[in-house]
Amino acid sequence: MAQLTMVQAINLALRQEMERDDRVVVLGEDVGRDGGVFRVTEGLLERFGAERLIDTPLAESAIVGAAIGMAAYGLRPVAEIQFMGFIYAAVDQLFAHAARLRSRSRGRYTCPLVVRTPYGGGIKAPELHEESTEAFFCHMPGIKVVVPSGPYSAKGLLTAAIRDPDPVLFLEPTRLYRMMREEVPEDDYTLPLGQARVVREGTAVTVIAWGGMLERVLKAVVPYDADVIDLLTLNPFDGATVLASVRKTGRAVIVHEAAKTGGFGAEIAATIAEEGILHLRGPVLRVAAPDVTMPLPKMEEHYLPGVEQITRTIDEVLRY
């Protein structure tokens, strides 16, 4: 077992799945020769050749669209969108097609496709390189949305995503790519999609987060008796784990780095308001970015929720 970064863990997952299953192919911009702009696919071209590590032209809709055709034909494509800010051009292929191929054909054709993309803020990158609009994709039945929060979960979830019989959007928190190392087994393991992870147990408040925010949440909760839930899969999300925790603590704080209005925190809060309200002692609070688009680097720390903001919100809900 080795201490790996998230980039290495994802690379390992791809490598192992490609070894295991010749249906797995990777396509995207600069994924081959260059090994990806974050080096996530480094060394895979050398190992698997240009037929399985496909450098495509600069065309996001075609990357996802072609991957749909490949998936329907029987392959297991893993498409990379270079940054989440460029996935919008592929939304039509994702929503009108990937999500619906199985239902449109009443099960005759399926779409076992993974779309990977770096996402989230905090890396001081140019415009559109730090989007965190995961909520868009959580309102489309037929697509799963998965967000790892570290190297270990990245490998286990990506392996599960590649083996999943349906399309999965796999969002990789860019800020975490090299921020930490974790023990990541060489062995084949998967983490089940749709299952949250209780990272820390407590009884006073439930704090729910995913991806790049989890690290900040874990810093913020140190002085509190908090249950911390790492959602891992956003769609379908693990309502049972969330509700069990809220029933125990009676208080909920949801943290995400996307703009507040319409963010995925809304769905979690709504679910709690619908199914857990009788156990609540106070409001369900959301810590989120303000309702503006991601600014350029000089402003990004004013935008992203910080530890202090999380602490303040926990304090607020503890007043009830």
Partner 1 sequence: MPEEVLATFTVRRLSILNESGDADEGLMPPLSDAEIRRMHELMVLARTFDERALTLQREGRLGTYPPILGQEAAQVGSALALHPADWVFPSFREMGVHLTLGYPIHLLFQYWAGDGRGLRTPENLTIFPICVSVGTHIPHAVGAAMAARYRRDPVAVCCFFGDGATSKGDFHEGFNLAGVFRLPVVFICQNNQWAISVPLQRQTAAATLAQKAVAYGFEGVQVDGNDVFAVHRAAREALDKARSGGGPTFIECLTYRMADHTTADDAARYRPQEEVETWRGRDPILRLERFMTQRGLWSEEYARETKEAATKAVDEGVRTMEASPPPAPEELFDHTGATLTPRQAAQRKEP
Ligand X SMILES: Cc1ncc(C[n+]2csc(CCOP(=O)(O)OP(=O)(O)O)c2C)c(N)n1
Q: Which C-beta is closer to a copy of itself: that of 17 or that of 134?
A: 134
- The span of 154-162, 182-190, 213-221, 297-305 binding partner 1 (CB under 8 A) equals 297-305
- Least distance from partner 1 to the Cβ atom of residue 319, Å: 16
| 139 Cβ neighbours under 8 A, 6+ residues apart | none
- Least distance from partner 1 to the Cβ atom of residue 35, Å: 7
125 binds, among partner 1, a copy of itself, ligand X, none (CB under 5 to 8 A by kind): partner 1
- Out of 69, 194, 202, 262, the only residue in the binding site for a copy of itself (CB under 8 A) is 262
Listing from the earlier edge strand, what are the strands of the sheet with 233-235?
Answer: 53-55, 24-28, 76-80, 114-119, 168-173, 144-146, 233-235
Q: Could you identify the residue written with the tokens 């619908």?
A: 274
- Per CB under 8 A, contacts with partner 1 among 212-231 are none
Q: Could you identify the residue written with the tokens 């929503």?
A: 95
- The span of 69-77, 88-96, 243-251, 302-310 binding a copy of itself (CB under 8 A) equals 88-96
Question: Residue 287 interacts with a copy of itself (CB under 8 A)?
Answer: no
- The rounded distance, in Å, linking the Cα atoms of 53 and 41 is 9
286 binds, among partner 1, ligand X, a copy of itself, none (CB under 5 to 8 A by kind): a copy of itself
Residue 75 sits at φ, ψ, to 5 deg, of: -90, 180
- Per CB under 8 A, contacts with a copy of itself among 123-162 are 127-128, 133, 135-136, 138-142
- Out of 222, 273, 277, 299, the only residue in the binding site for partner 1 (CB under 8 A) is 299
Question: Residue 274 interacts with partner 1 (CB under 8 A)?
Answer: no
Per-residue x/- mask for partner 1, residues 170 to 199, rule CB under 8 A? ------------------------x-----
- The rounded distance, in Å, linking the Cα atoms of 256 and 269 is 12
Residues involved in catalysis: 129
Distances, alpha carbon 180 to alpha carbons 8, 125, 150, 221, 244, in Å: 11, 19, 7, 19, 30
- The rounded distance, in Å, linking the Cα atoms of 307 and 281 is 23
- Out of 49, 292, 302, 312, the only residue in the binding site for a copy of itself (CB under 8 A) is 292
- Out of 113, 213, 226, 266, the only residue in the binding site for a copy of itself (CB under 8 A) is 266
| 153 Cβ neighbours under 8 A, 6+ residues apart | 191, 197, 230, 232
| 187 Cβ neighbours under 8 A, 6+ residues apart | none
